[in-house]
Amino acid sequence: MIDHSGKGLWHATYGDYEPSAPLRGAVEADVAIVGGGFTGIATAYHLLKAEPSLRVVVLEGEAVGFGASGRNGSFAMTVVGLGLDLLVKMKGRERALAAHRYMERAVDTVGELVAAEGLDCDYIRPGFLRMATTPAYERRIRREIELAHSLGIEGIEWLDRDAARARVGSDRYRGAWWEPRTALVNPLKLVREMKRVVVGLGATVHERSPVRSIARPGPFLLGTAGGSVAAERIVLATNAYSHLLPPLRRKQVPAWTYVIATEPLSGEQLAPIGWEGREGVEDARNLIHYYRRTPDDRLLMGGGPVGLGFGRGMDRDSGPAAWAHLEAHVRDLFPSLAGARVTHRWGGPFSVTTDLTPAIGYLGDPRAVYSVGCIGHGVSMTHLNGQTIRDLVLERDTELTRHWLVNRRVVPWPPEPVRLGVSAAIRAYLGLEDRIHERPAPG
Ligand SMILES: Cc1cc2nc3c(=O)[nH]c(=O)nc-3n(C[C@H](O)[C@H](O)[C@H](O)COP(=O)(O)OP(=O)(O)OC[C@H]3O[C@@H](n4cnc5c(N)ncnc54)[C@H](O)[C@@H]3O)c2cc1C
| Structure confidence at residue 354 (pLDDT) | 93
| CA-to-CA separations, 301 to 39, 97, 139, 200, 215, in angstroms, rounded | 24, 29, 24, 35, 42
Collect all residues with Cβ–Cβ distance below 8 Å to 50 and sequence separation of at least 6.
390, 394
- The number of domains in the chain is 1
Model confidence pLDDT, tens digit, residues 29-40: 999 999 999 999
Q: Quick check: helix, strand or coil at residue 265?
A: coil
> Is residue 199 a part of any domain in this protein?
yes
Average pLDDT over residues 54-62: 98
Say whether the peptide bond before residue 272 is cis (omega within 30 degrees of 0): no
Task: Work out the pLDDT band at 218, boundaries 50, 70, 90.
Answer: confident
Alpha carbons 195 and 64: distance in angstroms, whole number: 8
**Residue 442 DSSP class:** P
For residue 8, is it within any domain?
Answer: yes
291 Cβ inside 6 Å of ligand 1: no
The response to whether residue 128 sits with its C-beta less than 6 Å from ligand 1 reads: no
pLDDT number for residue 217: 79
Instruction: Supply φ then ψ for residue 417, to 5 degrees.
Output: -90, 0
Least confident of 39-43, 63-67, 387-391, 434-438: 434-438
Measured in degrees and rounded to the nearest 5, phi and psi for residue 345 equal -135, 130
At a CB cut-off of 8 Å and minimum separation 6, what does 44 contact?
33, 56, 58, 198, 201, 203, 205, 386
In whole angstroms, give the CA distance from residue 134 to residue 130: 12
96 CA distance to ligand 1 middle (Å): 24
CA distance 211 to 216: 14
Q: What band does 443 get if pLDDT is binned at 50, 70 and 90?
A: low
Give the tens place of pLDDT for each residue, 296-310.
999 999 999 999 988
Q: 373 in a domain, yes or no?
A: yes
Among 236, 238, 344, 360, which residue has the most ligand 1 atoms within 8 Å of its CB, making it the best to mutate?
238
Mean pLDDT computed over every residue of the chain:
96
Strand pairing category for 56-59 and 25-34: parallel
* CB of residue 83 inside a 6 A radius of ligand 1: no
Residue 443 burial (CB count, 10 A): 3
Whether 232 contacts 222, CB under 8 Å: no
Beta strand spans in 71-141 (E): 75-76, 128-131
What residues make up the domain containing 386?
1-125+183-252+354-412
Cβ(350) to ligand 1 under 6 A? yes
Quote the percentage of the chain above a pLDDT of 70.
99
Give the residue-averaged pLDDT of 318-342: 97
Domain-located, residue 343: no
What region, left, alpha or beta, does residue 76 occupy, with left being phi > 0 and alpha being psi -120 to 50 degrees?
beta
pLDDT in tens, 228-285: 999 999 999 999 999 999 889 999 999 999 999 999 999 999 999 999 999 999 999 9
pLDDT surpassing 80 at residue 432: yes
Band the pLDDT of 442: cuts 50, 70, 90. low
* CATH code for the domain in which residue 23 is found: 3.50.50.60
Given ligand 1 and candidates 121, 189, 241, 308, which is best to mutate, with the most ligand atoms within 8 Å of its CB?
241
- pLDDT of 160 reads 98
| Count of CB atoms situated within 10 Å of the CB of 199 | 15
Q: Would residue 441 count as lying in a domain?
A: no
- Residue 339 falls within a domain, yes or no? no
Distance, CA 36 to ligand 1 centroid (Å)? 9
Q: How far is the CA of 381 from the centre of ligand 1 (A)?
A: 12
**Does 4 reside within a domain?**
yes
